[in-house]
Amino acid sequence: MQPLQGMLVVTLEHAIAAPFCTRQLADLGARVIKVERPGEGDFARAYDQRAHGLASHFVWCNRGKESLTLDLKHPASRALLQRLVESADVLVQNLAPGAASRMGLAHSSLSPRNPKLVVCDISGYGEGGPYTEKKAYDLLIQSESGFVSVTGTPQEPSKAGLSIADIAAGMYAYSSILAALIERGRTGRGKRLEISMLEAMSEWMGFPLYYTLDGQPPPTRAGAAHAAIYPYGPFTCGDGRQVVLAVQHDREWILFCEKVLRQPALGPAYKGNAKRLAERETLRQAIEGVCSRLTGAELIERLDEAQIAYGRLNEMGDLWAHEQLLARGRWTKVATPGGTVPALYPPHHVQGDDPPPMAAVPALGEQTDAILAELGCSREEISRLHSEGAV
């Protein structure tokens, strides 16, 4: 028995934020019906063809769902969607601002016919205010939230290498939906949730916000290093291997100097993170001088002996083969229209428990006829809907 087994989620979604949210719900056992535009579908299907001819973003965010194609400009399709939503537990949408309301899919319109329904509206900027009608994409929100300004090198700001603003919004939508379902268990009623990408990302910006309280200077962009802790970042060894060091406090700093650098006098001379941060250029030269004489394996051996935290600066090939993921049995396989692909179990899955559904990534419209039949459509009606381009 999966936690959300028996629950129906209907989602009008595209790109990343909403699909990432609803995939988590599918991983918990919910039935997720993804409503897509006939012939085109979620535009993320066309981002690339890296996953056996399918888009990498789409495969990541859409396993375990059913694809229903509906042309929502067609009256018959809108009526079918209304019938579907009337039996749903959750409706998620991240359409253009105002689009869901114009189709009668606002919580205020749906709640009288389905009081238990939880509606989650995901948008770039939220309802109300001068940005309400603005379109929003991940990079734009990374920029508007100030994230790009504190990321990168001193010479050049940078975005994150993945859709971090979409993920932030998707995770807040996911957790908020779960909370609303718990609340519904007590009250018997659903509710409306509103998730703004800007607000989700701004919450994640709490450290640099407070760091600049009362007009203080922002944290410096430090590349892959930490802007406010030192040494905390990558160092290159003599064999080219990069190892990321993480010395958090003075006790670790003393051990690091004694057992890794083997220069114990540096410990008391640079006690206190503020001093280390102020003298980071001097310390960088000292640390790099030691690392350049060691291989990556030799440095890691010293770090393990001193019990200093570190990480290898892995690339994607290293992650595919990561020994910890393999040892914990975190990989399985998922079917897609292009063939089977590896997939990680979701983080909530505990080894030894029944596995999550991990069902297939759907082809565009793959379940359309079956869902229409569930809604009471005859074969003749389904054929007519296809001929009219409504589905």
For residue 5, give Cα distances in angstroms to 1, 88, 117, 186, 358. Answer: 7, 13, 16, 19, 13
Give catalytic status of residue 239 as yes or no: no
Report the alpha-carbon distance of residue 85 to residue 116 in Å, rounded: 11
Percent of the chain residues past pLDDT 90, beyond the cut = 95
Residue 199 exposed, middle or buried by CB count within 10 Å (0-12, 13-18, 19+): middle
What is the pTM for the complete model shown?
0.94
pLDDT in tens, 272-306: 999 999 999 999 999 999 999 999 999 999 999 99
pLDDT in tens, 326-342: 999 999 999 999 999 99
Report the alpha-carbon distance of residue 214 to residue 128 in Å, rounded: 27
Q: Which CATH class is domain 232-312?
A: alpha beta
pLDDT recorded at residue 354: 87
Q: Give the length of the chain.
A: 391
Residue 22 exposed, middle or buried by CB count within 10 Å (0-12, 13-18, 19+): buried
Query: Residue 352 pLDDT > 90, yes or no?
Result: no
Query: Residue 161 pLDDT > 90, yes or no?
Result: yes
Integer-rounded Cα radius of gyration of the chain: 25
pLDDT recorded at residue 1: 83
As annotated, the residues of the chain forming the CATH 3.30.1540.10 domain(s) are: 232-312
pLDDT in tens, 24-38: 999 999 999 999 999
pLDDT recorded at residue 319: 97
pLDDT recorded at residue 190: 98
pLDDT in tens, 82-131: 999 999 999 999 998 889 999 999 999 999 999 999 999 999 999 999 99
Helices H, strands E: what count in the chain?
18, 11
pLDDT in tens, 67-85: 999 999 999 999 999 999 9
As annotated, the residues of the chain forming the CATH 3.40.50.10540 domain(s) are: 8-205+328-387
pLDDT in tens, 191-235: 999 999 999 999 999 999 999 999 999 999 999 999 889 999 999
CATH for the 8-205+328-387 domain, from 3.40.50.720, 3.40.50.10540, 1.10.3470.10, 3.90.1150.10: 3.40.50.10540
Selecting among 42, 89, 121, 166, the annotated active-site residue is 166
Q: Is 298 helix (H, G, I), strand (E, B) or coil?
A: helix
